[in-house]
Amino acid sequence: MKYVMALFLALIITGCSSDHAGISIENSNQNVVIGNSVLARSLVFKDAHITKVNGLMQASVEAINKVNTDLNLQYRFYWYDGQGLEISGSAAPWYSVALAGNGKVILQGVADKVEATQYRIYVRRALY
């Protein structure tokens, strides 16, 4: 058991050490999970909203750049049902956005299945 826990901890640390690690935000509790400390110091998120569009969940979150330099970001939504299980095949593609120094942008996504009642958005530095 100790070996499994040590392996699990090593995988988490390794996964978060990449320069392309990002920030994850969950709508159910508005917790922010930070995987990249440099990116975390540069961004603030607020005004998360959920609406329904033709029976599908639409989510939006405002991202604010706290630094003077421009940031090239990618973001992706993950959709979950009422029990908190990820909806199969619901991961959206990565979207790119350029965020000007001290600027703000609204990150938006629409679920492709009516079962979606929760979401998580993942933001990272652009890979290009």
Asked, for residue 67, whether it belongs to a domain, the answer is: yes
Q: Of the candidates 11, 24, 16, which has an alpha carbon nearest to the alpha carbon of residue 122? A: 24
Please tell me which residue, 107 or 15, carries the higher pLDDT value: 107
Asked, for residue 9, whether it belongs to a domain, the answer is: no
Which tens digits make up the pLDDT trace of 27-65? 665 555 667 888 989 999 998 889 999 999 999 999 999
Asked, for residue 24, whether it belongs to a domain, the answer is: yes
Asked, for residue 7, whether it belongs to a domain, the answer is: no
Asked, for residue 65, whether it belongs to a domain, the answer is: yes
Which tens digits make up the pLDDT trace of 73-119? 999 888 999 998 999 876 678 899 999 999 999 999 999 999 999 88
CA torsion, points 25, 28, 29, 31, in degrees to nearest 10? -10
> CATH code at 46?
2.60.40.3230
Asked, for residue 28, whether it belongs to a domain, the answer is: yes
Domain that holds residue 112: 20-125
Q: Number of structural domains, the chain?
A: 1
What pTM did the predictor assign? 0.74
